[in-house]
Structure 1
Amino acid sequence: MADTATGLLPAQQVTLDAVRTPSQQRPVYPNDFAAELRQQSEDALAELVETARQLDNRGVWISKRDLAGVFGCEARYLADADTPFEWSVPTARGTVLHKAVELSIHQRFEPQDAVSAAVERLVADDENLGSFLAVATAGEHADLLAGCVALLTRFDETFPPMQRSWRPAAEVKARARLCGGAIVLSGKYDLTLGTPASVGGPDGGQRAGKVIIDLKTGSRTPTDPEDLRFYALVETLSVGVPPLGVGSFYVAEGRIEHETVTAEVLDSALRRTVDGIGKLVTLRSGDREPRRVPGPPCRWCTISADCGPGQEWLSDPDD
């Protein structure tokens, strides 16, 4: 990204300062850094390969949502996985905002126009979303559009205008195939800025330069930092160079929580990912019963009525 910007609003400047690192201060990694990380990953997962192939010969796909689910209430995670996805105004709001931001990268829109264009594109590309909007009431339509315009306006006021030199990209799909495809780490980044660069020469190394950003339209969750570290791991394994940093941008707050990616961060992400994959594979194979972890999610859990620990938690007045 460029190191200078002028005419920014105070919140925009704060965001830019959080993610900007001068070129000479960006870390340089050895050319074999990603290859060694991949080898560590595959060595740690080797004993799971046979079971993973039995579960699905196309590979067991792992997302940040899978890891968050298995480190929470496993019973709820399995129940949610078996429940067909249904569109609602809140879920559509986040999708529309992401598409509006994506369109705004390439052409300046007023928020109202960007949201309208985003809805039009999404309806054309996504049959399920189109079906939801086709039967939505006028009130739901108005609620969706008004909420998205308000969020996009907030985003424009607090996120610095993206320059072409930053190489911004939205809705970036990334995958890392491990162990011959038996396990696939999968992610989709809401927004990326910058790009890595080769220092040059056989021993020159690779300079980090990309920042991965999650756009959050809802509340903070405890797994937000871990989700982004997982993205950093996927990026390193797929591109071959670690990202410079990762961050969650909370649109309503107009604030970004940014973390610089280091070898230690990637090691932590790798250990958590390997642990989570082990839990997921044994859970999906039926080798053990899912853990039940009561807590605030019990209030909207689809199986709470038949869950003893969940009912006990819900009936406790202190909770």
Structure 2
Amino acid sequence: MTSATAAETASTSAAGAGALLPAQRATLDAIRVPRDERPVYGRDLAEAMRGDLEAELAGLTDDAREVDNRGLWISKRDLNGVFGCEAHHLADADIGFEWSVPIARGTVLHKAVELSIHSGLGPVDATDAAVERLVSGDENLGGFLAGCSPGERADLVANCVALLTRFSESFPRMPRSWRPTSEMKARVRLCGGTFVLSGKYDLTLGTPEPVGAQEAVGGGSRAGKVIIDLKTGSRTPTDPEDLRFYALIETLSVGVPPLGIGSFYVAESRIEHELVTPEVLASALRRTVDGIGRYIALASGAREPRRSPGPACRWCPISSDCGPGQDWLAELDD
């Protein structure tokens, strides 16, 4: 994926040796794009998108500074919050982030995947090493893991081993030529730092490559990176939007759109992949601008939050005092 023939060579050699399991081959086929079919972008694409985005946000800068004069940081979680139940979003913001076993499981799995890629450790050893490193090196998560009961910790480790085993059975082996990375942080400062778009990619494969003037007027770059979210839970309607937001961040920060984006559902052994196009990026840009406007309006108290009952009512901290939420839960029980 990183060079002209990396994925093709890997696929051909693996097929000849019978080394790919069916699920691994299906994943590889979904994300693989031959080099001559990968889009080439001119040098001015990212700057033009940045200009459009900053022009759209210019009218929100004063209100954004009133909300936070250090810079308004926007993540996929913030956007999902304002496009979902706004009352739930504000309630979560008041409580603040808290670790739980399901959330910690995802982070441990990501670290275990990283160790298995770069060190070749098996699922059990990679998971044990991931927990050990997180306990010693991450103050917040490390403290939570250290405070778990022996039963909770054993259950978490067992679940991660099972998920990593399933991942290794359904995701193709990643040679170094693919340049696999995990937990890659990315951010974009806009309007002089008034807005900061932030993200952290679970897994990336490949990299863009420069091309000469014969392939793009004035030169440019060929897309080559695939950004993947590893999903340990159920599907949600916002999964594709999360990745399109990441594609926007990647384009603005690196200057080249990613080749593709995908959610890999570990329990299903299946990836939902989408090629990145200018239309995908334009959609992500519009949603981001709209979401930032909604975020500011809610954070400043400019309007009352909307209540949108749904599955999140099951764990919403204000569901007991929410009429629409109680009605939805009652219908679910019936």
TM-score range, shorter chain: over 0.9
Deviation readout 1:264-316 (Å, 9 max, x if unpaired): 00001111111101100111111111111112211221101111221222233
Q: Does 1:115 align with 2:130?
A: no
Deviates more, 1:293-302 or 1:198-207: 198-207
Deviation at 1:203, TM superposition (A): 1.2
Tell me the amino acid that sits aligned with residue 73 of structure 1: C
Partner of residue 4 from structure 1, selected from 6, 9, 12: 9
Partner of 1:218: 233
Q: Confirm or deny: 8 A CA contact 1:89 1:143 kept in the other structure.
A: no
Partner of residue 268 from structure 2, selected from 249, 253, 259: 253
SS at match of 1:294: coil
Deviation readout 1:135-194 (Å, 9 max, x if unpaired): 322211210111010000000000001110101110000001111111111000000000
Deviation at 1:55, TM superposition (A): 1.6
Partner of residue 53 from structure 2, selected from 41, 46, 52: 41
For 1:251 and 1:217, how far apart are their aligned partners in 2?
Answer: 6
Q: Confirm or deny: 8 A CA contact 1:102 1:170 kept in the other structure.
A: yes
With over 3 angstroms needed to count, the CA separation of the structure-2 counterparts of 1:145 and 1:317, relative to structure 1, is closer
For 2:146 and 2:283, how far apart are their aligned partners in 1?
Answer: 45
* TM alignment of 1:272-287, pairs within 5 A: 272-287=287-302
Number of matched pairs: 319
* TM alignment of 1:298-317, pairs within 5 A: 298-316=313-331
How well do the aligned residues superpose, as a CA RMSD in angstroms?
A: 1.3
Deviates more, 1:93-102 or 1:122-131: 122-131
For 1:134 and 1:33, how far apart are their aligned partners in 2?
Answer: 47
For 2:308 and 2:189, how far apart are their aligned partners in 1?
Answer: 31
Partner of residue 72 from structure 1, selected from 67, 75, 84: 84
Q: Confirm or deny: 8 A CA contact 2:25 2:172 kept in the other structure.
A: yes
For 2:147 and 2:80, how far apart are their aligned partners in 1?
Answer: 32
Partner of 1:14: 26
Deviation readout 1:59-116 (Å, 9 max, x if unpaired): 1010001111100000000111121333222111111100001112211011100000
For 1:197 and 1:129, how far apart are their aligned partners in 2?
Answer: 37
Partner of 1:164: 176
Q: Confirm or deny: 8 A CA contact 2:135 2:146 kept in the other structure.
A: no
Deviation at 1:127, TM superposition (A): 2.0
For 1:317 and 1:284, how far apart are their aligned partners in 2?
Answer: 31
- Structure 1 regions of 5+ residues with no counterpart? none
- Structure 2 regions of 5+ residues with no counterpart? none
* TM alignment of 1:129-278, pairs within 5 A: 129-201=141-213, 203-278=218-293
For 1:173 and 1:129, how far apart are their aligned partners in 2?
Answer: 17
SS at match of 2:9: coil
Partner of 2:73: 61
Percent identity, aligned pairs only, is 73
Deviation readout 1:229-260 (Å, 9 max, x if unpaired): 00000000111000000000000111000000
Task: With the length of structure 1 as denominator, give the TM-score of the two structures.
Answer: 0.97
* TM alignment of 1:80-95, pairs within 5 A: 80-95=92-107
Deviation at 1:205, TM superposition (A): 1.7
For 2:100 and 2:332, how far apart are their aligned partners in 1?
Answer: 31
SS at match of 2:196: strand
Partner of 1:28: 40
For 1:18 and 1:119, how far apart are their aligned partners in 2?
Answer: 31
Tell me the amino acid that sits aligned with residue 4 of structure 1: T
Tell me the amino acid that sits aligned with residue 79 of structure 2: L
Deviates more, 1:207-216 or 1:284-293: 284-293
Deviation at 1:46, TM superposition (A): 0.7
Partner of residue 105 from structure 1, selected from 111, 117, 121: 117
SS at match of 1:316: helix
For 2:42 and 2:150, how far apart are their aligned partners in 1?
Answer: 57
For 1:86 and 1:184, how far apart are their aligned partners in 2?
Answer: 23
Q: Confirm or deny: 8 A CA contact 1:100 1:117 kept in the other structure.
A: yes
Partner of 1:297: 312
For 1:85 and 1:45, how far apart are their aligned partners in 2?
Answer: 27
Q: Confirm or deny: 8 A CA contact 1:52 1:60 kept in the other structure.
A: yes
